[in-house]
Every structure is written in C-alpha cells, then in structure tokens.
Structure 1
Amino acid sequence: MRSGAERIQGEAMGHHCPVKRASQDAKEERVGQEGRHLGRREMRPLPITVPLGIGQTPISFASSLAAANGVPTMRDFCRHVAVDRKGMGRGELRQIKRLARLGDVDPTQLETSWIVRKDGWTFVGGEKLRRQCSLKGFRYCPLCIQDDLSNRAGPRYARPFLRASWMIEAVGTCVIHTTSLVQSRGPVDKYLDDDFAAYVRQHRGEVDRFAAEARPVARSSADAWMHQRLVCHSDPSFLGSLQFHVALRLCEVIGFIELNGVKASARNFEGAALREARERGYRIAAGGVDAIRLFLEKLDTAFWEATHVIGGARLYGPLYRWLQGTMSNPDFDPVRKVIKDHAIDSFPIGPGDVFLGPVEHRRWHSVHSASREYRVHPKRLRKQLEVQGIIGDLAGRSNGRIAFETSAAAGFLTQVSDRVFAPEARRRLQVSAEGFRQLMNEGLVAPLTVRKGGGMHIQYSERQLDEFLKCLAAKAIERNGGETDLVSVQRATSLAGCRFIEVIRLILGRKLDRLELDVSRVGFLALLVCPTEVRKKTVLKNHGGHSLRAVEQRLKTTTNTVRRLVDGGWLPSTDAVNPIKRCTQRVVMPLDIEEFLERYVSLHRLAAASNMQIAALKGQLLAAGIRPAFHLGPGTATFYETSQLASAGPPSLRGRTVR
C-alpha cells in the first residue's frame, strides 16, 4: 500500500489531466447550488481540524483543512464539503459560516481576515482597499513559513498558512522577523490557485532558499501599523478613523511632499521611493490632526511670501490635487475637512471662495478681501485699520497678504462700510450737488464728523441715507413701466419752477395726491411726481410789484433810463422773489410808479403832447428858466418836474396834464 503522502501526491498529479480538470471544473460550478441544499442539513466539524492562525485568510484555512484531511487540493475539498470558494470571494457570509463549522472555529474569527472583492474594491477583514491587494501568486515571509512547519500543531503540510497582511502590497516587511516579504516564483497550476498549503508542499525548496537569503531590514513603523490594524481592527488614532486605503494614501502623499516638496512630480513614484515616502508620511500622520496641521504650517509660508494669487494646488501640491480629484468619494471627506479647516484657520478665505469645495465661513480677512466684502476702497481701509491698531505698518506687503481676524474687526468694518463721502452719498441718492446741499441745510441728511489725525472728514451713513429714501417712498405706489405723465423729482423742479427741497417737503408731508415708485430705478430717480400738481402747490404769493421791464413799458422809456432812475433813487424799488421762477428780482411798486408820474414828466412825452419838436420845446423851456429835474447821463430820457411846468412853463403847456 502507498503511504498517505504518496497517495496525496498521486492524486494531485492526476489532476493535471485536461479531461479530469475540465470535469472537476464543471463539478465545481455546481458547488453553490449543492451548498444551498447541504446547508439545510446539520453540519458537523471535520474529523481532522487545524487551529486557525492569527490573520489567516478563509481561503488559506480551507487549504489547511484540505491538507489535514488528505484531500489533494483545496478546490476538491471545497467541492466535497459544498463550500463555494468563489462565493467567499464575492462576500457570501453563509460560505464563511459553513467553513467555520467544518473547521470548528468561530465564524467571526474568519471574518477578521476575509478578503472580498466587491464593486471595484477589495475588503480585507472589512478594511477597504483599491489596487493594493495582491491576489496573483503568494507573498509571504519564508521565516514565518519555516516556523509554521516546525512549531504549529497538526499534519506537517497543513501547518503553513497565509496571513492577510501579506496580501497587502504596501506591507513590505514581516513585523516578526523584520525581513522583506517575498513573492512566490514557482509555477502555480491554475487548478492549485489560492491553495497555499499545496504550493508550500510542492515548492518547499523555494521556501528554504528564500529563508536562507533573508536578511534583516530596518523596522518599518508603517508596516507594523498596517499589520496591527488588519489583525486587531482597532486603532483609536486619526488614521484609524479613516478608511484603510485613504489612510495609506495620506501617508504616501505626505511623505512624498516631505521628501521632495510640493513642486516635484509624482509620476513613476513607486518601489523603494514609495516605501520611504510611506514610512516618512506615517511618522507624521500618526501624530493625528495636530501633527498634520504642523506639517501644513511649514507649507503655508509659500502663501505669505508670494506676491501673486496662489491657490491650493500651488500651496499643497500633490496633497491638494489628490483630494480635489476625489471629491465624489465620501471616504476622503475626513481628510478634506482637516486640510480645509486648516486653510480657513490660516488664510484669508471665506464664503465665495473655493478650497476643496465651497468655503462656508471666514476666520481671517485680508485688506483686499475686506475691501471687496464691505465695499471700501482698499487704500482707505488699510489706513483706517492702521489708525485703529488692527494691523501694523506693513509697507512691504500687498493688500492680499495683510491679514487680521474677523472677530477683532467685525464691528469696525461694519461701521467703516456704512460711511461714505459726499460724492458717493450723492450717487446713492441720485441727486445733484445743489439738491444735496438743500437736503443738508434742511437737516434731512445729517453728516458724520470723523476725526483722523489733526483733520476732520465729513462722511455720511449709508444706512441713514437708505432709511431716508425708504421714508420718502413709504406712501408711493409701485409701478413696473409703461407710459406716464409723472416725472422724477429733479425734472419736476425744472418744470414747476420750484426748488428741490420744496418737492421733498411735499412728499414728506404727504401733500401730493400722485406719487409713484419706479422699482427699476434707484434713489430720487425712482420717485415720480406730477409737475402740474407740484407747480400748483409750490407757487408763491405774488409780491404785487412790477419788474423793471414792466416799468419801462409803463413809463414808455428805455431800459437804460429805468435802470438809472432806480439806481439814482428817483424811482423807489425793492428786491422780491419771483413767485414763479423763485429768483430774486428788482421790482417797483405800482404806487411808486404813479407818484413818479405825478411828479415828473419826460421831455419826449411833453413834445408829443404839445405837438412840438423836442429841440424847439427844450429851447422854450430853457428860455422860461425851467431846468431838467435831474440828469441821468447820456443816452437817457430828460425829466422835468410837473409843478414847474404848471407855474412857469410855456403858454402852450400851462394847464395841461401829461401822463
């Protein structure tokens, strides 16, 4: 009879026959269906079981059970016991429970090292990875395999087992022997794929050769952390709160920046350089959020030293680009939050900015950002911030690099943003300089006096200006276009011949029957009034006097003559306001005109009344000893006193009344 080892070897060799292999593959496809029927029966542990190794994968455990029970291959074993090995790879829990029952172990222990591929991801004991788990061939520590063969219980070739951490490509060393893991080189028959116990049985020489060549390497903190996490699944640190693939990549990116800077290219970054970066990055990230922020602070100096606009990609390089490129994956949100919070706490960014997504709040303002938000000229704002002591005298820095905390300047910025100079106040009200002056004289617009150094600056409150406009429009009817006979307040003053302030008084006093608000305009341009109504309600009382032009017509003389009469005091006059045009004019009262006509008469009118030539009449008056009453100068009329004409005038004028 053949020994057990010879029998197993012979059966294994028999499976290299293509016909038998095809038959076995067809049978294996029916395992899932058979397992559903067998699952309803009571399952008992196998006659021969093996202890479950720490970190041993379920597939490796099935391989060990197959070797312990004399089954040539793990595939044959799974088919015989109705365990679907492909179902285990797809994440079917019932297959794990069935295998655990057969091996007399707790199913939860198998789950801690269960490798599942689903939706493009690989899960190792629930830890999520992508393209970081090697399932082709075997990665192992030859010294650990020799220890398994020598020290573990059970049949000899059922002792070696595959650890889940070895399957992670990022894990480069054995944490027990501090040697590099090796990749299997021996040919693996497709039918023996995943069958680690059978592989070790066939390639024992490879294991011994690798063990002889093994040399101690530097202990890797990153490898120890990954092994600990995959075995114990407990890590209270910040890295432990992240998905495994996120934590791993974070260490690699931080390490790359630490070694090469933010401007270096990460292309073809692999092998020993990648392991070195991962180790360096882990030493930083293992310190948690505070350590990561200290690392970022070293990169922040680039922002303060730059004179141009600098974004996250220029600031944090590969780290920012990595997180920006994974915005659709929520696994990276915790890391993004750390980087984003640090940026908000360090730089003058806020709502309206984008840094790994929209920025929700602001902690720091720069002179530039504050001037834009509060609509204050940056030069004026910078000077006022210096006067208030909020910022120092940073002459060498641009407005974008002078930062101050928003909490320390919120009240001051609100106050500054509410203050404007007269030109801006007029633009806000949409009123002319004269109209603005009238509003000030009336006390409707109150200026604010701001002391700065030794000078005084007159400013106005935007809030008060807006409240004033709101008060004016309180009773106005809104309109949204269309034809109308109403005009703006400024235009109404011209058409009605009144002052701007008079229309404002009518509006404030609610004395206008027609008042509309054009919502498409701003300031006083939005207020529409009827010019006819304004004219009727603003016309002044007639002063009762005659203008100099009217006096000229009444006296039937020239303009120059009337001007000389008024200026010389022979014709009394006074200054009065024109009731229509509201301008000051020189007027003569009717009674004064009548008195003047009673007392004086012009030579021109005397000649017309006596039907004589002016020169002849003037000669007669002179011969009679009658002189002009006064001399107005060349080019003016000559006047005589009527009393002299009545007593000593020529016979032709005696007894006549000339008006």
Structure 2
Amino acid sequence: MRQLSLKPAPVHRETLPSFVSRMAAMNRVDLRNFCVDMGFSMKKLLNLDPEALHVIAEIAALDDHALAALVSWTGEKSGDVRMIFRDEKFVSRALKNPTVRGCPACLRDDANANPSRPLEAMAIRGDWQLREVSVCVRHQHALIPLWRRQTPTERFDISARLSEILEDLLKGNLEQGRSSPSAYDLWLDQRLESGRDDTWLAGQTLYAATTFCRLLGSELLRLPEYRDVHVAARLRAAQKIGFEVATGGRDAIDNALDKLAALAPLAGDLPYKAFGALFKDLARAHLNEDAFHDFRRILWERIILIWPVAADQEILGRTLPYRRLHSLTSAAKETGVGEPLLDQFLIEAGAYDKADGRPAARKTFDALQHASLLAEIPTLVGSDEIRNAMGATKTQFRSLVEGEVLHPRTKIPTTKSPWRLQDGIDLMRELNALVIGVVEDQDQWELVQQANARTGLGVGRIVHAIRYGRLRVARWNGLDGYRSLCVSKVEIDQFAVESGAQTEARSKLPTEVVSTAAAFGRSVGMRDGQAFQRLVQAGHTPASHETISRNGTKRFYVTEDDIAAFHQRFLTQKTLAAEYNGFWRTLVAQLQAGGVEPFTSDGETFGHLFLRADVERFFEKPVADCKSLGWANKSFPNE
C-alpha cells in the first residue's frame, strides 16, 4: 500500500490510536471508516494486530523505530491480564480504564500549533494511561478526566472525543492550578522515559514499585502528622510519602511499618488492621506475583518480629519453621498455665519488664530463648509431691531447703508448685550412690535430721560433707528414701570439731572468691556426678581449694578469673542456649549431627560440655571475650 500524502508526524509519547486518529482527521474521515478504507478494522488497530501495524507503517512512512515507539507508549497485550508498557510488565487494569485522562495544557499547546485544524494536532500521550501517573511534569498540571466510555471503539476514537471538549480545551476552561512535581513524579517520569533509576527501587519492576509506594503511603497518611492532608490531594500525597520511605531502603521501610503497627496496639489488632490495604493487597491481589516478592518478604519479616506468629500459621504465603515470638496469651494456651501466674514467671525470667503495659495478646517475648522455661513450668510440682518422691518428711524437706541443698525453680510467692521434681530425684540418686550399706546400731549411727539437731551443723553442711566423702552415709534398716539416710556419730562429731578450723582456713582463700565450685557447676548446668569438680581435678579448668579433712579431702572455689577461664574454653548446655539464643536440646542436636561431640578426657565424660572453639567453628561465630559476656560477674549462691 502506498503512502498517504496527508500524514502526521508522531508526537513524543503518543499512542498508536491517537496517531491514527489524527491521520484520519487529516484525511477528512472518522477513525472507524479510515480503518476500513485502509483494510483493517478498528478492533485490529486497538489490538495492535501485526497486519494492521504493517499497513500503518507503510501509509504513514514510519520506520521501525518510530513504529516501535508508538507501540511502546500504547502498551501491548501479554497474556490474558498483562500488558507490556515501556518494556515493563503491568496488569491490564493499570493501563486500561473507561476514563481517559490527560493534561489540558498539553492539548491546548498542541492545538495552538495548528489553530486552523486543532484536531489534527492534539495527541494523547501514553504516560497518561498509567494510573500511577498523577501529574504532567512538563506543565506541572494534574491529569484530569477528559471523557469516559465503556466501549473501547468509542473510547479510542480520539478525534471524535476531543471534538466534544474542543471549545473548553481551547479556552482553558479545563485547566486547574499548577503544583510542583514531587520527587516521586520526577522519578516515575524519568523511569518511563529512559528506564533510568538511581534509587533503592531500581531492582523492582515499575508496576510493583509504584503500587507499593502508593499502598504504603496511603496507610502512612493515617499517622497524626498527615491528618490535615485534603481528601483531593491524598493520592499524590500517598505517592510522595510512600516513595520517600521506599527510597530510604529497608531500614526506612521497617521504621514506617513499626509506626503503623503502633497504631494498632489493642489485643485483637492483627496485621491486617495495622497495615490495612498494604497487607490486604500483598496477601490477596499480589500474593502469587513474583514482582512483589521482595515487598511481601519485608512486610512478613516485620510481622513475625511484632506478632506471635505460630510455626504453622500462613501469612503472606509464608510459614515459620519454628515459632519466634510468643505472647503471654499464646504461651498460656500452649502450656495450659493461667496468664496471671505465667506472667509472673516470665517477668522473673526477664522475658519482659514488670511495667510492660501491653495487653496479654500483644505482650510478646522471644519464644526460643524461653522455650525451656515454658516446657518446664507445667512440670513443676508442689512440696508434697517432691518430698514424697524423695521419701522425706515435711521437717526433713524444710531443712534441705533452709540448708540450700534444694532450690525452688521460682521465688514467686503465689505459686503452689515451685519445685523441679527432677531436682529431688537427682539428689536422692546422688546420695543413694554413696550409701555404704544398711545399719541399725543406734549407738553408732543416727539419722541426718537427728545429727543436725544434735550438732547444729545444718543439713546443708552435712549433705555437703557426704558428697565430698568427709562423712559416710548409710541406710537405716526398715526405712527408705531420704528419711532412711544416716551418718556415723563418731564422724559427725569429729566433723563438728573440725568445722571451727574450717572458717579460719576459708579466710586464707583468695579474696576474690565468688562461689564454691559445686555451686558454680550447678549454675551453668553441670549437675550430674560432680562434673565440674571432676573437670577441675583433671586440670582442665582452674579453681582455688582448701583442705577440709586430715585425709586430704579438698573443697574447691572459683574466682572471677577462674569463671572467665572456664567460659573462654567451654560451653555447657545452659551457656550454649544463652549465647546462641535457642533451646539447648535443639542446639546440642545440631552440634552432634554436625560431628561436634561433647568434651571428654581419657574416656571420662562431663555431660553436655563442649569446647567453645568447636562450637564457634560450627556456628561460624567468632571467639568472644567471656568477661564481656557477663559470665565472670555473675553471682552464685553460697554452698
């Protein structure tokens, strides 16, 4: 087909329907009939049919570059609900709308360039189609609705529609006040023009970036500082604010999300309320769109840092492999412990402050750090249960507590179950292992409680002497449990005599002594078989000592330097959990699965004790100064 003698030159950013409509006007025919005359339907024009494009290029003498530019600013169909616009993929509804918008100042300038035939000069620009474009940067004029038509063939009959508003356009009746473009407007205009983007959003698709800026900004308008924004200006304000935050990167976005979360402080305020349309759109309309992956992840990661999301709870298409946060409410449901009592346990453990005024459902804490506590609380028992398991009377049990042989798991005065049953069982297992036999000679042996009453030594000192071999322990014939344990009268009397000298000997110890080795060992979780004392005696960690009997029995003490030296070399199950912020059983399982075995020496084991260097190599955590960790300054109960 030969060229037409009357043909326009494309205007920068012009759409193909606009260009063909102007060509039809030059040739004194309406757009529909012009298309028919040229051998294609108007529908094929709007669908960018290849044959129609070929004809248009020939009759208008368009080279490949000029035709590609018209198509690029028009937008090509890509699948059922997508379009390619300026080499970026958008959903169709972001570009196609029954309402056609434009800049009346641009159209008036076009008309003034050819005042005798303005319809041949006025061009519709492609950027006006994009719903995220709000202003003409060139004229600093907001885009306004020009016409609305449901049927595409009527909507894109450009010359016909412009003729209907021509008089108002030429008189400037449609023009409004000017306003300076925001940084968002300039950024969007530049990216559409050249694809250039020097901001944090450069790695995001234009569709996702503009949508996120608008959604985030719309929610931020709920903050007190934006309450005075006029309703008519809210779209541009939202785009401006959202862009300012988004271009600040991850930290700025996180900070903005925290502000929105603070607007929803009530117990039942879930993420969808805190983040409104931003959450709704990312959770529904854009849930399965790869373009929004980074934005979904940012919001999801903020949610799991604020709300107590369970491991199997799906949010924004993602689930947690394990729970990171608990609330008082979720922890109470999981443990079966009432909120008032559990609240006291958690305050005592430092999970949150006593003055924390958040409602129970929003009073959150680190679930991993306090997993062992939550697992333990339901297992705690009352004094009757633990003493019955030990075979002790009420008086005997009270003496063990007063002598600091047994310690309650919690000091909460209102709880009726403060005891670890295992502590009582472990104590009896330890003492039973030292029993030399069954006795019934009242002249040579007496029950521990009787020895305490007669000598005034205190049950704590007597049990300690048994543990260290200073006193032999036997079982009284016909009795069992703790109530059956008895000591030699001769040995207890001798021990009482020597106890006066022990106080003097103790004064010769280093003045910086912090604790007995036994108490320190228990404080770091080495409770089995005098593990810490055995570690000291084998020379693997330093300690001070005193001789407490003529046969050379020693009692070991630790100083701050001794404690620091221990922590510099070793990690126990308890310190492992504290330093790596996790449940010790999980961490130990990970270590052993990775080939990191507990420390041994000449076949002797010390429980869940690991060399720090091995652990840090496995977890890729650098060696720390143990004094800086605070271990060396910890106080321990006296033995």
TM-score by length of 2: 0.49
TM-score by length of 1: 0.48
Higher alpha-carbon Rg: 1
